[in-house]
Structures are given as C-alpha cells and as structure tokens.
Amino acid sequence: MKFFIDTANFEEIKEAHSWGIISGVTTNPSLVAKEDVPFHDRLREITALVPGSVSAEVIALDAEGMIEEGRELAKIAPNITVKLPMTPEGLKACSVFAQEGIKTNVTLIFSANQALLAARAGATYVSPFLGRLDDIGQDGLSLISTIADIFAIHDMKTEIIAASIRSPQHITDAALNGAHIATTPFNVLKQLFNHPLTDKGIEAFLADWEARKSK
C-alpha cells in the first residue's frame, strides 16, 4: 500500500515528502478553504514538488461544468488527477476524462456498488471514506475489503484510495484489507513513526555509548 498525503498545506506536504514516503497528494474543497492561497497557485506548487498523482476536486455539480473545470485543472500539470463526486453527472465527466487520458479520482464513495460504477466509468481511483462511515456506526473497513475483492474478481484496474483516515490503526487495517493507497492527514502520518520502545531503545544506545567513552 502506498501513502498519499491528504492536505492542501504546503509545509505539511514538504515535510512528509522529505521523509521519502509520499507517492501523491489529495485535496478537497474543505482542505483548500483552510489555506490562504489561490487554488491553482497551490496546485502549481504541489505538482512541482511531488511527482505522483495530485488530486484536485471540481466544484461544479453538472457534467458540463465538471468537464470544463477538470480540463483547466489538468492543464496545470501532467500529474493532476481530477477529483469528481460520486453522482451520475460525476460519472459522465469521469468517462469523458477517461477517453481524454485525464486521470480521475471518484470521491465520496460509501458503498461497493458506487465503487463498481465508478470503475466501470473509467475512474483511475475510487475513494471510499473510512472515517465518515465509522462516524455513523458503519464498518468502513469491510467496505474497503469488499471493493478490493470485487475489483480482483473482475480484474478491474481502478485503484482504491482509503480516505477519511483518522488513526494509525486505520492505516494498518486499510493495508490488510486491500487498499492500494491510504490518503493520510499529516497528524496521522507523524503518529505512524511512534513507538515507546523505539524512543527507549535510542536513549539506551546513547547512554551506553556515552558510558563507554568515559571508560
């Protein structure tokens, strides 16, 4: 499973990218709204730094508007992925982009049938939202695993991005349940490094080293 970072904050992207673990970036309108910079300018910065897929979401709700917005976004850089909502209009736009060779990420996926539809419309990625399903007492992980099974049975090339990740446990579980990618907020990425025995081990190694020098 690969890691994307789920943020529009450039400092977070730079820091995570420097760790050598980031294969792409996802943004959404809520994440972009937190940043004090024009959307296209921020996308230029991100795509210049990260060579992998950078998802940029359209705002229009009709296919024509989505196609127009998506084509403009795709002009920013070759690694832009146009993010589209899981609606009939979103899938119309998705199939047009598939024919044009523009990568797509169909977002707000909450059922296996939605994922299947998006894959058939030619989506490059589908984004099932783990955390938001957990929030309403449903099982986000079994959704990931069901989609992974369906895509494997039918030899579908669409990749699964586990989205709406809230904790390190979500990462392990998404990897075990067949997600190709986990798009992960910066605070969760940082937590993945932590283990008390790692810190304790470093402390003990350094203490032993210092003691040896004073002999």
Of 34, 75, 83, 190, the active-site residue reads 83
Residue 130 contacts residue 140 (beta carbons within 8 Å): yes
127 lines the binding site for ligand E4P (CB under 6 A): yes
Instruction: Map the footprint of ligand E4P across residues 166-185, applying CB under 6 A.
Output: 183
Quote the Cα angle for 52-54-59, to 5°: 165
Among 9, 12, 16, 26, binds ligand E4P (CB under 6 A): 26
In angstroms, the CA 180 to CA 182 distance is: 7
6 lines the binding site for ligand E4P (CB under 6 A): yes
Known catalytic residue at 83: yes
* Residue 35 buriedness (CB in 10 A; 0-12 / 13-18 / 19+): middle
Q: Identify which of residues 104 and 183 has a Cβ nearer to ligand E4P in the complex.
A: 183
With contacts defined by CB under 6 A, how many residues of the chain interact with ligand E4P? 11
Please, what's the b/e burial string for 135-155 (b: 16 or more CB within 10 A of its CB; e: otherwise)?
Answer: eeeeebbebbbbbbeebeeee
User: Phi/psi of residue 157, each to 5°?
Assistant: -85, -10
Among 77, 131, 134, 167, binds ligand E4P (CB under 6 A): 131
Cα dihedral across residues 135, 140, 143, 147: positive or negative: positive
97 lines the binding site for ligand E4P (CB under 6 A): no
Among 7, 9, 28, 114, binds ligand E4P (CB under 6 A): 28
Comparing every residue's Cβ against ligand E4P, the nearest one is 164
Among 47, 79, 104, 107, binds ligand E4P (CB under 6 A): 107
Among 14, 120, 132, 190, binds ligand E4P (CB under 6 A): 132
In angstroms, the CA 181 to CA 127 distance is: 9
Q: Which residues bind ligand E4P (CB under 6 A)?
A: 6, 26, 28, 107, 127, 129, 131-132, 163-164, 183
